[in-house]
Structure 1
Amino acid sequence: MPHPVTYDDIRAARERLRPLLEPSPIRHYPLLDELVGHGIRVLVKHENHLPTGSFKVRNGSASITALTAEQAARGVIAATTGNHGLGLAWAGAARGVPVTVCVPKGNNPEKNAGIRSYGATLIEVGERYDETVVACQAIADEEQRTLVHSTNHRPVIAGAGTMTAEFLEQAPELEAIVIALGGGSQAVGALVVAAAVKPSLAVYAVQSQGATAQHDAWRDGNTRRNAPVQTFAEGIATGSTYELTFETLRSGLSDFVLASDAEIAQAVRDLWSTTHNLPEGSGATGLAGLRRMAPHLAGKTVGIVICGGNLDAARAAVILGGGTPLAMPAGVPAGTPS
């Protein structure tokens, strides 16, 4: 099955993003090498330094800049619990495109405030995320807005692929990359770039033990829909597989592992102590996965991505105090990552 986007799509997205986004930095921290051990040289891609504090601004910007003039005039709409909405809102403000963001009732107030701060219309609708998705689709149909799904949207995947294209230009010696996986846009983008630029680059994925839908589907080949999740790392709290990413992930990933929420919380603390950057749960999951895979990657140069830094104050206090935040309620399906 062909990839959902081509390397040319990713290169085109990079050109569209160039006037909007500076490249995110990569950094090498010897203390992190010591922590991971096994002679691994760890390179950190700081997507948390991008506007809105997340790689999702790439996805949002690629989607906004791919609109026709007619689509831009009508505006876009999305369902989200945070970072996807922030990225779209920021890009919409930068390009003068109306953005409506639907979130579940009781959504993170810090992320809601951020979305509103960029001038987007925020609609709190639905008790759970899957109800928010249904309401969002109805509004999109009624108002003839372009619906930008956080995963099942080709410009989103092309935008996510710009991260790995940039990473390889900054660090051509990279031998492997470990990516936190929610919907899969980052990992699929990495696989498309690797196939075109450096086929020897191994792409690994990590998901929470409390949200295993993508991991389990990768293992057994059966798609999932609205499986229960129980993790504090909302950026990877995915209970479904997605049409545009499933087959590429299954055929391309070198391995796919799970990390516990306690391991993810420890990775947040470790990144704070070694890099003095405070990631959100999903932003630390790559490190948690790398520590599990370290013996297999001994002696290699490995990239990890702080894909988001929007950790709310309450969870930050718990984690930096040595604890693990409470997970999302058991049995609540998460339709898509944030």
Structure 2
Amino acid sequence: MTLPISYDDIDAARERLRPFFDASPVRHYPQLDELVGYDIRVLVKHENHLPTGSFKVRNGTASVTALSPEQAAQGVIAATTGNHGLGLAWAGAARGVGVTICVPTGNNPEKNAGIRALGATLIEVGERYDETVAACRAIAEQEQRTIVHSTNHLPVIAGAGTMSDQYLTQAPELDALVIALGGGSQAVGALTVANARKASLAVYAVQSQGAPAQHNAWHDGEARAGVPAHTFAEGIATGSTYAMTYPALRTGLRDFVLASEAMIAQSVRDLWRITHNLPEGAGAAGLAGLRLLAPQLAGKTVGLVMCGGNLDAERAAHILLGGMPHFPSGTDEGQAIGGRGPSHRLPSSS
């Protein structure tokens, strides 16, 4: 298996993160066992309890704390539409590093407000995401800031790997992890941890049917770029494969499934009802994937990750009342600087 980082990288990131926030909890909910069936014991790791409500704060903090003194003095910059920007802004504030976040015009106002509240400079630029990315590059060059890509950045992947490392310490009985996959930092981190600490730990991935680029690339071996993504689960609205994660995903994942938008929305409702934690779409996708994978995981202890809880109020109300949410249009933030994989192929129009 080709891995972009080593377990030593995750270990170093864990030590850098230690002063900033505590471990997120792992909890067992017997009603989830009943819901999934097949004598599966389901555990949930609540990354939604971390600062900014998402695992992305691990990625941002690992990246900011890896800067040299010179880089820290110049600050960092990222193009993003969501949790990556929040995590980086929080980490910058915690370490006293200047952060600039570029978002498309009309970006989620709740996330914009959260980024600004953390002291980051927020620049709304570009009607389309590629225009935002171009502006981010130009500002980075002009101001000599370090670009922190949401996937293709080694400290980001190491930071995400601290989640699975911590999970396995908290629940050494884990047989499998089912991870919602966007850029792939969480899944590649999990594969790195399994390779070093528990070879029998199987890692599975799930993506939305409305954003199948990574899934389809995994199954047919053809990298993707720029495939339209139509899902309310913004955290996995990925239209590309990524150079630093795709090879490891291709060789390391045990299986990769697609869940419908309706299944993900129902998983939001189920997790709210059973855990009284409100996940965003990506945070609920693991449960949707587990229900598809359940026959092959019968009798196992399976870990899910509530990777984020930043569901906006209007969409949350709509979903909890039984509706299907609208999804944002445009491209995913994984297509920011350096986000494209080594080759590109668009799916046929059929």
Partner in structure 2 of residue 120 of structure 1: 120
Distance 2:5 2:190 in 1: 11
Q: Please give the alpha-carbon distance, in whole angstroms, between the structure 1 residues aligned to 2:131 and 2:172.
A: 44
Distance between the aligned counterparts of 2:2 and 2:35, measured in 1? Answer: 39
Cα RMSD for the two superposed structures = 1.1
What is the one-letter code of the residue matched to 2:60?
G
Q: Which amino acid aligns with 2:193?
A: V
Asked if residue 334 in structure 1 is aligned to residue 339 in structure 2, the reply is no
State the shift of 1:335 in Å: 4.4
Shift of 1:132: 1.1
Offset, 1:135: 1.1
Q: Does structure 2 retain, via aligned residues, the 8 Å contact 1:77–1:146?
A: yes
The residue correspondences of 1:33-112 to structure 2 (distance < 5 A) are 33-112=33-112
Q: CA deviation at 1:337?
A: 8.2
Q: Which amino acid aligns with 1:219?
A: H
Which residue in the other structure is 1:148 paired with? Answer: 148
Please list, as runs of the form range in 1=range in 2, the aligned pairs for 1:261-300 lying within 5 A after superposition: 261-300=261-300
Q: Distance in 2 between matches of 1:308 and 1:335?
A: 16
> Equivalent residue for 2:194?
194
Mapped to 1, the partners of 2:167 and 2:182 lie a distance apart of: 20
Rounded Cα–Cα distance in structure 1 between residues aligned with 2:53 and 2:267 = 18
Superposition map of 1:204-283 within 5 A:
204-283=204-283
TM-score computed with the length of structure 2 as normaliser: 0.95
Aligned 8 A contact 2:81 2:333 in 1: no
Residue 336 of structure 1 aligns to a residue in which SS?
A: helix
Provide, for residues 257-294 of structure 1, a one-character-per-residue CA deviation record: whole Å limited to 9, x for no partner: 00011100000000001100000000000000001111
Secondary structure at 2:303 match in 1: strand
Matched position secondary structure for 2:334: coil
User: How many Å separate the matches in 1 of 2:110 and 2:73?
Assistant: 28
Tell me the distance in 2 between the aligned counterparts of 1:203 and 1:232: 24
In structure 2, the gaps of 5 or more residues are: 337-350
Q: Please tell me whether the aligned partners of residues 213 and 241 of structure 1 are also in contact (alpha carbons under 8 angstroms).
A: yes
Instruction: In structure 1, give the amino acid aligned to 2:93.
Output: A
**Could you state the TM-score of these two structures normalised by the residue count of structure 1?**
0.98
CA contact (8 A) 1:236 1:337 kept: no
Counterpart Cα distance in 2 of 1:133 and 1:337: 8
**Distance in 1, Cα, partners of 2:89 & 2:335:** 17
Matched, 1:22 2:25: no
Q: Which amino acid aligns with 2:314?
A: A
Report if the CA contact (8 A) 2:2-2:251 is conserved: no
What letter matches 1:273 in structure 2?
A: R
Q: Secondary structure at the match of 1:304?
A: strand
Deviations 1:69-115 (A, max 9, x none): 00000000001111000000001000000000000110000000000
Contact 2:110-2:312 within 8 A present in 1 as well: yes
Q: Residue in 1 aligned with 2:343?
A: none
Identity %: 75
